[in-house]
Chains A and B, each alone.
Chain A
Amino acid sequence: MMSQSFKWLTGMSAGTLLFLYGPIAVILLFSFNVSKISAVWEGGTLHWYRQLAGDHSLWLATNNSLMVGVVSTLVALALGIGAAVVLERGRVQGKPLIEGVLLLSLVIPEVMLGVALLLFFVMIELPLGLMTVTIGHCVFNLPLVIMVLRARLRKIDPIWEEAARDLGATPWQAFVHVTLPLLRPALLGAGLMAFTLSLDDFVVTFFTTGPGATTLPLKVFSMMRTGITPEINALSAILVTVSMLLIGVSLAFQRK
C-alpha cells in the first residue's frame, strides 16, 4: 500500500519536473529554428547565435553586468564579514534595530526598493548610471551575505577563537588565522549567490539605471519588448547554460 502511494507521488513529481523543464526546453529548441516568426520547426541553424555574437551592444551589456556583479559582490563580502562577526560574536548597541533593518531589507518587494532608490538618487541629484545601479545591488546583496555568514558563524564553536586568544593571539590574528579559514566555504557560497543575483537582477537595475548603463537583463528586456525573435531564444539559452555552469561550480566547491 505504501509503495502504491509512493508510485503515485513519483508520477506527480515527474509531472512537476516536466512543468519546470518543458518551457525552458522549448526555448532552447527554438533557438536553433530556421524560421524567424513561426512557432513551427523548420530546420536547424546556428544563425541566431552568430547574430548575437556580432551584436556590439550585447557585449557592452555583458561587460556592464560583470562589472556591477563583481563590484557589488566584493563590497557585500568585504562589509558583510565584519558585520556578521560583530553581530554574531560581539555585543552591539541597538542590535534589535539593526536586526529589524536587515530583516526588512530581505523581505521588502524589489519594486519598492527600486523606486525608493530612484527617488533618493534623483533628489540628491546623483546622475543615474552604473554607479547608482552598483549601489542598488550592494543594498540587496549585503544583507544576504550577512545572513549566510551569520548562519555559518553560529555553527562555528567560539571555543576555537578563544583557544587562539589564550595562546596569545590578538583579536585580529584570531580572526585571520582561525575564523576566516573556517568561514571560507560560506564566503564562497555567499559570494557566488550575490554574484548570480546581481547578474540576474532586473527590477532594481531597471529603476536605478541611466543612459549608457544597460546590463544584460535590461538588454534582454528591451529585446523582448520589441518583439519575440529567435535571437532572444538564443540569448536565453546562453543564460540558462551560464546558470547551470555556476551551479556546477558551487556544487564542486561544496564537495571539497
Chain B
Amino acid sequence: MNVSSLHQPSVLLLPTLLVLGGFFCIPLLLMFGVSFASRGLYGGIEWTFTFENYQRLADPLYWTIYGRSVFLAGATTVVCLAVGFPLAYVMARSSARMQTVLLVLVMIPFWTNFLVRTYAWMFLLRTEGLFNSLLMYLGIVDAPLELLYTNGAVFIGLVYGYLPFMILPLYVAIERISPSLEEATYDLYANSMSVFLHVVIPLAKPGIVAGCILVFIPSVGAFITPHLLGGGQSMMLGTLIQHEFLVVRDWPFGSAISFLLMLLVLVVGVPIFKGRKLWGT
C-alpha cells in the first residue's frame, strides 16, 4: 500500500491516538502538574504551585532507597548477564532439536506469573521455610535465620524474575554468529578465552545491550519483588511510590518520586535504544 492508497490514515490511527492520548499522556501530564502541588490536610491535593516536593527528594532519608534501587538493579543486570551468557551460548550452539527444547525451557518461566515466581522465594526463604528447615535439620544453625525481608532476598528475587529477559536476546544475538568464525579463530591458534573475548562478545553486543536494558529498567522500577521479599526493610523506588500514594496519601510527593524514577529509566534507556538503531539491529 503506497501513500496514495491510504486516503484517510487518520481514521485508522485516530482511535489509538485517543486511547494513548487520553489514558496515557493526559494522566502523565496531570501527574506532572500534581508533583508541583501540595498535600491537603486529609490527603487531598492543594493546588498551590511549589517546588517543595522536588526539594524533598534531596532529603538524605530517601538516598538510601535511591541507592538501593540503582545498586540492586545494577547488580541484578550484571549477575543476569554472567549467569545467562553461558546458557544462551550453549543454546545457540546446540542441535536444532535441542535448541527448541532449551528455548521452551527458558520461555516457560518467562511466561509464568511473576507473583507466583516471587512467592516461590517467599516459600523458600521464610522463617519456617525450606532453607531454614534444611539448615536446622542438618544442624548448621540452631535458630532459623532471617532470610526474608532483606536486601539479599530482593536481589535473588530480581535475578530470578528477570533472568529470562536476559537469556532470550542473548540467544538471538549469539545464534546469528556463524560458528565458522569461532573455528577460524581457533585455527589461528587462539585459545577459548580470546575467542570468547574477541569474537563472541563483540558480535553478541546488540544482544548484550538489549538484555541489559530489558533487565535494568524493570528492576530499577520493580514493585512486586521488593514489596513481597523486602517488605518495609528493603524499600525500593517502586515500593516508595506505592507507600506515598496508598499509605501516606501524599500524592504530590509520590508524583515527584515517580518522575525521578522516569528520569532514571530515560537516562539509562533512551541513549541505548538510539544506539541500538545505529548498530543496525
A interface residues with partner B (beta carbon < 8 Å): 1-2, 4-6, 9-10, 12-13, 16-17, 19-21, 23-24, 26-27, 30, 37-40, 75, 78-80, 82-83, 85-87, 89-92, 98, 101-103, 105, 107-113, 115-120, 123, 135-136, 138-139, 142-143, 146, 158, 161-162, 165, 171, 174-175, 179, 196, 199-200, 202-203, 207, 217, 220-221, 224, 228, 232-233, 236, 239-240, 243-244, 246-247, 251
Contact = CB atoms under 8 A, between A and B. Distances in A.
Nearest to A172: B5
Interface of B: 1-3, 5-7, 9, 11-13, 15-17, 19-20, 23-28, 30-31, 34, 83-84, 86-87, 89-91, 93, 104-109, 111-117, 119-124, 126, 128-130, 132-133, 160, 163-164, 186, 191-192, 217-218, 220-221, 223-224, 228, 237-238, 241-242, 245, 251, 254-255, 258, 261-262, 265-266, 269-270, 273
B120 to A, nearest CB: 4
Contacts of B106: 20
B19 A98 contact: no
A193 to B, nearest CB: 9
A115 B1 contact: no
13 contacts: A21-B109, A89-B2, A90-B6, A92-B9, A109-B261, A110-B221, A112-B221, A112-B262, A117-B23, A119-B27, A171-B6, A243-B113, A247-B111
A247 B30 contact: no
A19 B220 CA distance: 22
A165 B5 contact: yes
Contacts of A92: 9, 13
A221 B115 contact: yes
Given A116-B28, A123-B30, 6 more contacts: A87-B13, A110-B221, A111-B258, A120-B30, A199-B113, A243-B108
A220 B30 contact: no
A85 B27 CA distance: 27
Contacts of B217: 107, 109
Main secondary structure of the interface of B (DSSP, over half): helix
B249 to A, nearest CB: 11
